[in-house]
Amino acid sequence: MLDAETLAHAAIAYPILLFSLTFHEWGHAMSAKLLGDRTAELQGRLTMNPISHIDPIGTVLFPLIAMLQPGLARFIIGWAKPVPVNPLNLRKSTDMVWVALAGPACNLILVLLGVLVFKVLLVFDLLPAGERNAEMAVTAFLTFIGINLILIWFNLIPLPPLDGSKVLLAHVKGHWRSFPFWQAYEAYGQFVLLILFLSGGLSLILRHPMIWSYDVILRFLF
């Protein structure tokens, strides 16, 4: 439930999530441009303005639901409005895979930057003075790292509109792309995600990779 502690954490976590999702989508748009497709740029999506990337379900509803999930309350998750990409403008048929993976790659960059900066602050004792201030700084850094880490794993799930589904689609050949099941798969993927959220299934899917990767980072930091 949304108690005072959860709301206080959300006040830190949600701006981090919004920034991370924005950088994620910027990565898609920039990689598409570099690979020959300017569709996203022409539609104003090659920007770090979060308003351009907000999705009512993925950026508003899902983070709220995540705060109510025991396994995900610490690291709220979601997605932004998918960046438009025209595969016909890309130089190679395989470029769509790289465009899809650019989003999680941007989150990985943020994880590495967060770990690096936090490690430097710890090694050189540069955390803010005062126990309360130091505690808040540690919480903010760990939340920043954790949210971007979970966004990497979350986006690799092969369900639309997540990036994993686009990687899967790139490997689906010819007539299979027009197969009715695939059309339904693309149309209703986000509702499957919603069911996974509500049932707690998403927590089960993400728990083990998150525990493993987060533990590796904590061992390095401390």
Active site residue 25: yes
At position 80, the amino acid (one-letter code) is A
Do 91 and 36 form a contact (C-beta atoms < 8 A)?
Answer: yes
Residue the block writes with tokens 């540690």:
138
Whole-angstrom Cα distance, residue 194 to residue 199? 9
How many angstroms separate the most distant Cα atoms in the chain? Answer: 63
Whole-angstrom Cα distance, residue 11 to residue 162? 25
| Other Cβ atoms closer than 10 A to 115 | 19
Catalytic one among 25, 41, 135, 186? 25
Instruction: Give me the helices (H) in 62-174, please.
Output: 62-68, 95-123, 131-155, 163-170
Do 147 and 16 form a contact (C-beta atoms < 8 A)?
Answer: yes
Whole-angstrom Cα distance, residue 146 to residue 81? 22
Q: What are phi and psi of 109, to 5 degrees?
A: -60, -45
Residue partners of 202: CB distance under 8 A and separation at least 6:
69, 72, 154, 193, 196
First to last CA, the chain: 31
Give the catalytic positions in this structure. 25
